[in-house]
Structure formats: C-alpha cells, structure tokens
Structure 1
Amino acid sequence: MFLESFNSSFGCAAQWLLAPTVSSVAPSRRDSSTLVMNVAAITTAMNSYVPTENLYFNKVIKNDLILKYLGDWGEWSSCSVSCSNGTKTRTRTCSNPPPSNSGLNCTGPKVESKICSNQLCPVHGNWSDWSTWSGCSATCDVGIRKKTRTCTNPKPERSGDYCVGEPSEYTGCFNEPCGARTHGNWSDWSQWSGCSVSCDVGLRKRARTCTNPKPDRNGDYCVGESTEYTVCPNEPCNVIDGGCSSWGDWKSCSVTCGVGQKLRSRTCTNPSPTLYGKTCDGDYADYAVCVNTPCHAVAFNAYGKNVLLNRVNAFSSVIFNEGNAYDVSTGHFTAPVDGIYHFTAQMCVSANNSIYFYIHKGSATMSGVVALKYSYNYNYNGPSCTSASCYVKLTRNEHVWVLMYGQDTSEIWDVSSNSFTGMLIQEL
C-alpha cells in the first residue's frame, strides 16, 4: 500500500529512489535484504514534496518501508527422531512483499536447522553364544545334559525387548545300566501243530518264546527265530497224469543256406499233471533236417573212361561243373570251401570180368590218402554196373578222386554209364 501511494504521489521520481542500494539501516536488521530503499534519497525527495512536520511520513514511511520488507521465520518443526539426537527446522519466504517490477529476490537462507536432543533410545536384548554341554546328570542308566545362554549380547535397557526363546536346552545321555543286566533265553519248542491241509502237501508249525528268562530293559533279546515250519504230505486230493499238447509249428531253419536243422516243440499241458500225477512221456522237442540253397554252388557230373598212369579214372566228359571244382585232366575234385560233401561213383564191367574201385581223399599229390568208400562187382552172365556213395567232411583244397584197383581198361564197359558226381551239402 505504501509503494502504490508513494508511486502515485511522486511519479517517475520514485523509480530511482527504489533502486537497489545498500541501506544505512539494513545492516542492523536480522533479515537484511539487498533490495532496500535509499532512505536518505527518499527522505530528501519527500522533504521537497511533503512538509517535514508530516509525522506520518517521518514515522510510518521512513521506518516501515525498511522493517516490513522481509518475511518473518516460521515455527520450529518437530524433532526428526523420537529418541537420541536429531534435527528440527524452520523456514521463511520472500513474500513481505514478494519482488515485482524487476525487483531482486531476497538473499539469505530460506531454511534454518538446529540440533534437538531427546531421551536415549531403548536397547533390545540378544542371546549370547550357547555354553558347552554339561556333564551327564547320572553316572548309570539314562540322564540328561544341559547347555545355557544369557540375554546379555546386549542386555536390554531403557524398556528394550527381552530375548525371544529358551535360555536352556537339554539332551539325553546314556550310560551303563546301574544294575546287572538279564539277557533273554528261549523256552523249549512247543509240540508240532496239525497239518495245515487235509490232502496234498501242507505245513506244520511249532513255536518258542523268549521267556527263559525274559530279558530286562537293558538285556539282549533272544537270537534266532521264534517259529519253525515243516512239510506234511497227505494223500493227494486228486491225481491227474500229464498229457502232451499237439506239436507246434516248425521254427525257421538254423541256417539260411546249405543244410541245417529246424525245431518244433510241445508241452505237458494237455492236461498238466497234479502234484502226484505222472509227467508226460516222450520228448518235448523234435528236430528235422532243412536243406536250403547251398551257400556256395559247388556240384559236378562227369562220365567216361580214361584211366591214367596213377590208376585214377579221369571222367573226361562233363555234363555240368558248378564252381569249376572238378578237373577232367587229373580226375580230381578240389574242395573250394570247408564243408560237408556228397560223392557217388559208378563203374560198369563187361561179362565174365570183375571191377574194383575206391573213392579216395587226400592232397593234390595223393599223399595222406583216406579211403572213403569202395565197390566190387563180378558178373558171369553179362555186363553190369556197381556204385559207391559217401558223405565226407573236407577242408579247403582237399582232393577227392576215383581210383581203379588195377584191371585192364578193356574190361571197363559202356563209357557213358561210368560216372562220377559230387556236390557241397553244407558249408562250415
């Protein structure tokens, strides 16, 4: 109100009078501001416009213009803590009056603080470490051991809370019995009970107790079983002899090539025998030979008459020679693989003559000879033929040939009827 009145009364002359200067009065005030009026300048100006005896100016304008320009401090706040040392504050605002018309803001702190002291805070209790376990409370039988702790780490003060939990713990301790121990011993066995069934096979039972004497609470219990059982055979409830079921289907051959075995089976379930019934007669398994395609195709069929100097008949005409194992120049068959082979030789003789030959095996040089089969024939009435056949196990590169006993080749009859055949039956 004063500034508005001052402006309206003195116009432009008031602008320079309100310039920021250092007041001669401000340093003596607690809340000084850099924005104060030049008192001397204002007084000079006012004296030229207003009678000096104007008490309103001299008292109100001169003094209130400076004293009421800054705001007053507010009340002190509550202490920041409820116990021990804290702080409290008070504030002031630049609003008495606020700056306007390019006036400067107030200087100095807006907030003031100071230490506030209260009563000391409470101290809550905490447990100390556990003590070591005490000795056993008894020297025999069962006692107890104890450990403790105290609420002194720290001790509660100034209405602080006491420790939560127990101050003591206990555990059992076991010692030798105070008196002599009595160990248990078995009573005599009872009589055997009756059989559990009236026919077929059942069980009988007998029992004993650990009461001779009975063990005390520190004694050992009896060692062993309290019950025994034995079998009791009776007359059969009914007797049924077993009967074989029908044969099952043949299983697959034991090999995929050559000669093997196949199996079929049956069971003694038609009907099954009871406990005292007879089991089935006969075999439960049956085997048969199964012939597959040879793993190696080895077979020959040759005929003719060509007795060499070593008395081997080289059958010079070949019908087939699978595997090329037969040599017409030597009359030898050479095994290409280990296996079971079958050979047949047939020789014919003219009338009133005899013939005698062998099927031999050995090396290529005809050493280590083994006679596999021989045949003899004599016919007075006319030409006739005789043959010999054999199965033989050969290792690779063993030889087989037909050896004549020594007769003149002129005695051998019908070249086409004299033959030598062989084949691999089962590769090994």
Structure 2
Amino acid sequence: MIFLRILRTILRRGSLAVIDRAGRRHVLGDGSEPVATVRLSPQASDWHLIRNPMLGIGEAYMDGSLSVDDGRLYEFLDLLARNYGTEASHPWMSLLERATARLKQSNPMGRARSNVAHHYDLSPALYDLFLDSDRQYSCAYFRSPEDTLEEAQLNKKRHIAAKLMLDRPGLKVLDIGSGWGGLALYLAEEHGAEVTGVTLSDEQYAHANARAARSPAGDRVSFHLKDYREQQGPFDRIVSVGMFEHVGKRHYLEYFAKLRELLADDGVALIHAIGYSDVPAPINPFIRKYIFPGADLPAMSEVFTEVEKTGLYATDLEILRLHYAETLRHWRERFLARSDEVLKIYDARFLRMWEFYLALCEVGFRRRTNMVFQLQLAKRIDTVPITRDYMFEAERAAEARETKPKP
C-alpha cells in the first residue's frame, strides 16, 4: 500500500503497528514499543487515505475501515503530530498545505446561520454528556492542573469579566455568539451588567432564554436570534467568545468595523478565539467538512492587519497555550466515558466522528500551532489603565465575592 510507504517515511520518532488489508502486521518507526495498533479493513481505500490524509484518515475512522486497538486513537494522532513537520515529513503533505493555503472562507448572513445550525443545533442531551453544568463550549482557564472542568470554566468567566472592566453596575454589554447563555448570565448576575446576547442557533437561543427567565438578574439579560451584523448600538462593553472562528477570513474587516460601530467612545471589547501561533493556514479539512463548516482560524498577523484598518486600539493581548488542550482532554474523557449514552442519541458513525474531532483538536493544541488568544480593543488610547494590575485586582475581588457564603 502506498499509504503504508508514506507512513514509513514520516514516522521517525516512536512506533506504530499497522495491520494491513491482508492481515499482515507492520511495525513502523524507530523500533520502540508501538504506541498504538491501527487496523485497515479490506474495504480501506489506499487512494482515499493518501489523496488528502488529513481528511481521509478521519473519514476512514468514521466509517470503520480504519480502527485503532484498545481505544488509543488519541495516541495514534499524537504520534503523527509529533512527527509531522520534521525533516522526515513526506513532500506530499507540504504540497497539500500549499495548495490550500490561500483558501478564505466566506460567510454571508444566510450561510452563517446554516453553518451554525450544523453544529450547535444538535441534540442538547449530547452537550450535557461532556460539557460543564454551565455548558461553556470554549477554552477553560486552568489556574492549576488540579482544577476541575467546572472550576476552570468559572475561572475563564472571571478572567474575561476582569478584562471587560466591569467597574460599575449598569454597563451595557453585548455578547456576540452568546451560546447557551452562561457568560451573559454570569456578567449580569455577578457584575450587575445589562447584557444583550445574540446567537444564530435556535437551540442555544431557546436554552438561554429559558435560563434568563429563571435568572435573578431579571430583565437585565436578554437573548436574541440574530446576526451580529444586524445589531444596533452603542454598548459600553462587547464580548465575543468562540465566535470569531465562524466569521470567515473574508469578513474580518467587516467584523472589526462593526465592533467599532457598536462600541461606545469609552468602550472596551474582548475577543476570545482560537488562532494559529505561526503563519496563516486553512483550517483542518476534516473539521471544516464534518464539524464546523464555514470555520476559519486566523494567524495573529491576519487579525492585526484588519484591526489596524478600523482605527481600534489593541490594548491587551494574551495567548493561552495549553489551556484548550486540557479543556479538550476533559471533554474527550467525559465523552468516551458516556459513549453508551451517545449511542442512544446518535449512531456509531457519529460517535467515531466526534471522538476523532475531540482527539484531533487536543493534539492540535498540544503538538501543533493551535492556540487561544484574548484580544482587548478600545476606541481611545486612554480607555484602559496603562498597567494590567486592574485585571488581577478585579479577578481576585470577584473570586472573593463569589466564594463568600450567600445569606
């Protein structure tokens, strides 16, 4: 098989056992103990695997023509990632990257809504199986390796609130891509903000409104089913978590220009998103085709190029490196621990697709160039203090207030 020959040229560190379509066992790599055993069924297509391996391997795993013994899919993908990009990599991988490097996703309003529905309008029961109780579906913030997922997601909300400078009650906040409502409710309930959330997901909109109806914040928090481009301002603060990935590279300037239009003169915006720590590149083809159609990840050079054109000031930038790797590890382990319940909602192909998605993304943050950035923006150069002390002070004050026993 050509696929086997290509794998043999790539794998230089670590070992992999491969059972080919005829049942023969091959050990590839440096001769150490194989980290995993991959089996190819008689139906496995050599051409399909080599044509676009970043897509073909995932599709083969989904349809069962490629399987991994002992549930070690993560170890298999991790091994590939540790060898990928080294001098031993096969030239055909570089060719594929060059061929797709100039792709730029376009997401006009109608398409944006259908792309969101593809992922976020899945059964709510699915997300309850692996997310925290607040349904935070974005990178958590691990202050300690011992933090639980629940603690780390609360840390994330505090961290974001501190950067938003919620220094007085009644500030008008816009949450672009408000998800199931957790962050908006936190800002309203714990910081006294008046929060407007917008989403394109019917399921998330319904869930967030149901939560808002029970919230002690009352009418200080509301959710709307609309595109952010239709929203009118101004707002004192704007926050967007895990939404910029769905904007599409062709729309980056439109996005930041709209933020500037919506932001009050003394306003602050905080964008929390996934990006690349190196040069611009297309998103993984498996993720784009099966998980997040319409998604694109930016390099920081692409972000700042468009921000510069709007006149907005970048007042703070933080790179979260391994936080999302740890978040995804928690999600993957929770998801697999409840695989029997997943199969009551969806079929085995869906289960394998999502296992591959969660493992692939974790590897991307742990071994490749994926990272999360938090970019703070303002219209005026003097809107935020000139040191970051205010962030740490606000975060500590919020933690003390939240952990204080309530009467």
Report TM bin, short chain.
under 0.3
State the structure with bigger RCO (CA 8 A, min sep 6), 1 or 2: 2
Which has more radius of gyration? 1
TM-score, normalising length: structure 2: 0.15
More helix by share: 2
More strand by share: 1
TM-score, normalising length: structure 1: 0.15
